[in-house]
Chains A and B, each alone.
Chain A
């Protein structure tokens, strides 16, 4: 695995951000990593950055204050397609609500939903299968 990718983590819980950060580091594929507690700030970041600084992968939480994961996706869909198309989004959530799962499945921007705690082996396999890493 020589491919280096940029990863963005969005989660209102700092400990989960830390865990996901460590996991991504272990995957040994890292270009850069950016972390956000608030989806709004992540969005602002994406709006100001050019293609080389854009993430290839976003791990996105659903239940967050101010702007939740789905609201983030709605805003994300408005960003230029040229930037969006190189970026894969994986939802990571501890929600058991069928409605959340169905919404994630319906959303074309979402590649997959992983339940917390994140299983690093499964995520790595999944990303390899989808040629993201």
Chain B
């Protein structure tokens, strides 16, 4: 690494000469007799550490360093000061104008240690900055990578689904329909998996985005997208929202999509009275969402494990669950600082209760 550049400002020339003699081997030393000269030097050279005496004619060290911080915020600024100025110094440190100070009387050892500390501070800041930039770059690249891979994976699948849709319009292919349907169900499964992975990725990496949420239209559109074509399930939505709810509409959508699609998937096959009830109560403090069904239910021994990644019950194997849905639900609810309560009885049904804080005050 190149030598650290240190600028020392003092109105006593002897101090400057002695300083140069002491430190020129370790640092690239610049000296100035006045604040004005110092600012000229700063203009022409990239200085890392600026050392200033507090008592100088015309301008104090703190005033000088205040100008330096405005113009060169990356510098580390060391002030040399006597006992009398200590309050000014404390204030300057708190305001960030001075990074470190040493008290008079000082000797070369003391100053040497102080400059050493400044160097450490400077290098760690530089490292932190470059690490941050690196991380940001990696983040952006990862985003690009994930979306382009997901697009490239899905694109052939959507073509296959498109061809299957087209085949349904052709009467001469009627006999082949069962086969097309099988292809379709496998492709939809793969597409669903890719979508879930993207949901997982988005949830894990993005911060909450708080916007006003109107539950009625949101949940209706979730249902419209998921509902089975044969209308075999009676869906009831009851929203009691008298006040604005602010929350992460994307995550709420993901949570409800997963829970409602599970409620559709895990119905009792032979039942003729299938229903799903969604109740929402909103007040100024939170929103309480209950999604209940009269489906197959979940064994109590699985209550904890169903939220684990890639965990699937016997029922989930039959219905081609991916083992990701409830994991995403749990992660998303956690991210919104919410709560999730599960009640279920075998062959009677399941109810998920989600409590989400109303963030409209924040």
Residues in A lying within 8 Å of B, measured CB to CB: 13, 15-16, 19-20, 22-23, 26, 63, 94-98, 115-120
Quick one: CB contact mask for B135-169 with A, threshold 8 Å, 1 for yes? 00000000000011011001101110111011001
When the two chains form their complex, are residues A96 and B198 in contact, meaning their CB atoms are under 8 A apart?
A: yes
Closest 9 CB pairs of A and B: A116-B158, A117-B161, A19-B162, A117-B162, A97-B147, A94-B158, A94-B154, A117-B158, A15-B159
* Residue numbers in B under 8 Å from A15 (CB-CB): 159, 162-163
* Residue numbers in A under 8 Å from B189 (CB-CB): none
B162 contact from A16, A95, A97, Cβ within 8 A? A16
The reply to whether the CB of B195 lies closer than 8 angstroms to some CB of chain A is yes
Q: List 12 A-B contacts (CB under 8 A).
A: A13-B155, A15-B159, A16-B159, A20-B162, A95-B151, A98-B202, A115-B158, A116-B154, A116-B158, A116-B161, A117-B158, A117-B162
Residue of B nearest to A116 (CB): B158
Q: Chain B interface secondary structure, helix, strand, loop or mixed?
A: helix
Residues in B lying within 8 Å of A, measured CB to CB: 147-148, 150-151, 154-155, 157-159, 161-163, 165-166, 169, 195, 198, 202, 250
B195 contact from A63, A96, A118, Cβ within 8 A? A96
Complex alpha-carbon distance, A116 and B147, angstroms: 15
Q: How far is the CB of A90 from chain B (nearest CB, A)?
A: 15
When the two chains form their complex, are residues B150 and A96 in contact, meaning their CB atoms are under 8 A apart?
A: yes
Q: Give the residue among B155, B198, B202 with the most A Cβ atoms within 10 A.
A: B155
* Residue numbers in A under 8 Å from B161 (CB-CB): 116-117
Q: How far is the CB of B174 from chain A (nearest CB, A)?
A: 17
Complex alpha-carbon distance, A19 and B198, angstroms: 26
A19/B159 contact (C-beta < 8 A), A95-B147, A96-B195, A120-B165 known: yes
Q: How far is the CB of A34 from chain B (nearest CB, A)?
A: 19
* Residue numbers in A under 8 Å from B155 (CB-CB): 13, 63, 94, 116
Complex alpha-carbon distance, A94 and B155, angstroms: 6
Complex alpha-carbon distance, A99 and B274, angstroms: 38
Complex alpha-carbon distance, A95 and B163, angstroms: 19
Residue of A nearest to B146 (CB): A97
A94 contact from B151, B165, B250, Cβ within 8 A? B151
Complex alpha-carbon distance, A21 and B150, angstroms: 25
Q: How far is the CB of B40 from chain A (nearest CB, A)?
A: 47
Complex alpha-carbon distance, A122 and B165, angstroms: 13
* Residue numbers in A under 8 Å from B154 (CB-CB): 94, 96, 116
Complex alpha-carbon distance, A95 and B162, angstroms: 15
Complex alpha-carbon distance, A115 and B155, angstroms: 11
Q: How far is the CB of A84 from chain B (nearest CB, A)?
A: 28
Complex alpha-carbon distance, A19 and B166, angstroms: 7
Complex alpha-carbon distance, A119 and B225, angstroms: 13
Complex alpha-carbon distance, A84 and B169, angstroms: 33
Complex alpha-carbon distance, A17 and B198, angstroms: 26
A23/B166 contact (C-beta < 8 A), A96-B150, A96-B198 known: yes
Complex alpha-carbon distance, A54 and B150, angstroms: 34
* Residue numbers in B under 8 Å from A22 (CB-CB): 166, 169
Residue of A nearest to B209 (CB): A98
Given contacts A98-B202, A117-B161, 19 further A-B contacts (CB under 8 A): A16-B158, A16-B162, A19-B159, A19-B165, A22-B166, A63-B148, A63-B151, A63-B155, A94-B157, A95-B147, A95-B151, A96-B198, A116-B154, A116-B155, A116-B159, A116-B162, A118-B165, A119-B165, A120-B169
Complex alpha-carbon distance, A116 and B169, angstroms: 17
Complex alpha-carbon distance, A13 and B162, angstroms: 12
